Amino acid sequence: MFEKLIRQDLAEFNAYSSARSLNLKGNIWLNANELAYDLSNEGFNRYPEPQPQELVHALATLYQVSQDEILVTRGSDEGIDLLVRLFCTYQQDAIMAFKPTFGMYQVSARLQGVEYFEYALDLTNEFTLDIDDLLKEINKKPNIKLVFICSPNNPTGNLISLEGIERLCLTLADKSMIVVDEAYIEFSGEQSAASLIKQYDNLVVLRTLSKAYGLAAERVGSVITNARLVSLIKKVIAPYPIALSVAQNAVAALQTARLALVKSKMFEAVRERTRLFQYLQASSLVNKVYPSQANFLLVQFKVDIFNQLCQSGIIVRSMAKVFNDETMLRISIGTVEEVNKLIKVLENINTGTIGANNETA
């Protein structure tokens, strides 16, 4: 059913047919113009598998889906871009996402030349999503091909319920793809929407190894959806998106012992999030700290302390432009020591020990 939503000019289009994608068997490889000698002794002279099977297998196990329901991408940023390119026709289609949310949805929409609509989350209601109201807005517009649901949402930290996601999938079955970006789901302890892909063929889930798994430098994301859509996305993906060394490092990072370590760090991040939340809530520097299910906190301070934090060597993310408010900061959860240091610096700002020009504090 979702097939009619893809770009019609791509319906008959075939992807570039790379040498490796033909899956031929043999032992003398004269088909890809590579150097015949393996000077690295690691097989780096050959093009890698278009989808590295060992990594696909490890990720499918991790996310509890079948191997044909997963496409490995160069970070979920690439997954976002591939979906926009596959579904959205230049100057005709549109996408919808929250305001505020992760910036790449808008960037990909702009690059593809399609309209970007924002659905404003209610700041006074801790950004809780009203599904009926969102549906009403989507149905006002004719060509919204993709609805991006970032959950937990960056930068607000709140989670969208699976019931809400199911409502969107059901109601918009003939109209839009629902793309649930779960970059931070590990920190929420909640179930992934990947459990729903068998029920809704207009549902796509994005996962990444960049956040909870500590592998941002490797650029490994996953698009999780039904097998038919996985095949169609292969029309628009680069021939060899995942370097051999990346696949090797990612597979190593998904071994049982490393996963146990990841889990313990994840729990630590959640504990530190609670500790920092409680500290900030009680701090006289803070107007409002928003509850978060991710590994960051959105905080409205009483004054703009961004530069004072910088001067103390602590770099946080200013949300001034997003909220049109200089006092809004997004603070990632650091190590226990880093959170201690942050709290100490905040104490010093509070007592006026930091910041020469402190008259606003």
Ligand X SMILES: *Cc1c(COP(=O)(O)O)cnc(C)c1O
Asked if 292 interacts with ligand X (CB under 6 A), we say: no
Give start and end residues of each alpha helix (H) in the chain: 53-63, 75-87, 104-112, 131-140, 162-171, 227-233, 244-253, 256-282, 306-311, 320-323, 336-350
Q: Least distance in Å: CB of 24 to ligand X?
A: 32
Binding mask 88-107 for ligand X (x = CB under 6 A): --------------x-----
Q: Is 183 in the site for ligand X (CB under 6 A)?
A: yes
The reply to whether 154 sits near ligand X by the rule CB under 6 A is yes
Residues written for the chain: 361
Kindly state whether residue 76 participates in binding ligand X, applying the rule CB under 6 A: yes
Q: How near is the Cβ of 237 to ligand X at its closest, in Å?
A: 14
In the complex, minimum distance from the CB of residue 213 to ligand X, in angstroms, rounded to a whole number = 10
Report how many residues bind ligand X under the rule CB under 6 A. Answer: 12
Q: Quick one: 50 or 221, whose CB is closer to ligand X?
A: 221
> Would you say 85 and 236 are in contact if contact means Cβ atoms under 8 Å apart?
yes
Q: Shortest gap between Cβ of 75 and ligand X (angstroms)?
A: 3
With respect to ligand X, which residue has the nearer C-beta, 221 or 241?
221
Cβ-contact 67, 200 below 8 angstroms: no
Nearer to ligand X, 295 or 312 (CB): 295
224-250: burial string, b at 16+ Cβ within 10 Å, e else: bbbeebbebbbbbbeebbbebebbbbb
User: CB within 8 A of 298, min separation 6: which ones?
Assistant: 155, 156, 157, 289, 290, 292, 319, 328, 329, 330
Distance CA 84, CA 92 (A): 12
Among 11, 111, 120, 216, binds ligand X (CB under 6 A): 216
Which part of the chain contacts ligand X (CB under 6 A), choosing from 71-79, 126-134, 284-292, 311-319? 71-79
Q: Are 83 and 109 in contact (CB under 8 A)?
A: no
* Among candidate residues 212, 191, 231, the one with its CA nearest the CA of residue 64: 191
When computed from its CA atoms, the radius of gyration of the chain, rounded to whole angstroms, is 22
Stretch that binds ligand X, among 26-34, 59-67, 69-77, 335-343 (CB under 6 A): 69-77
Nearer to ligand X, 34 or 118 (CB): 118
Nearest residue to the partner ligand X, using Cβ: 75
Q: Does residue number 242 form part of the binding site for ligand X (CB under 6 A)? A: no
**Binding positions for ligand X, rule: CB under 6 A:** 75-77, 102, 150, 154, 181, 183, 208, 210, 216, 221
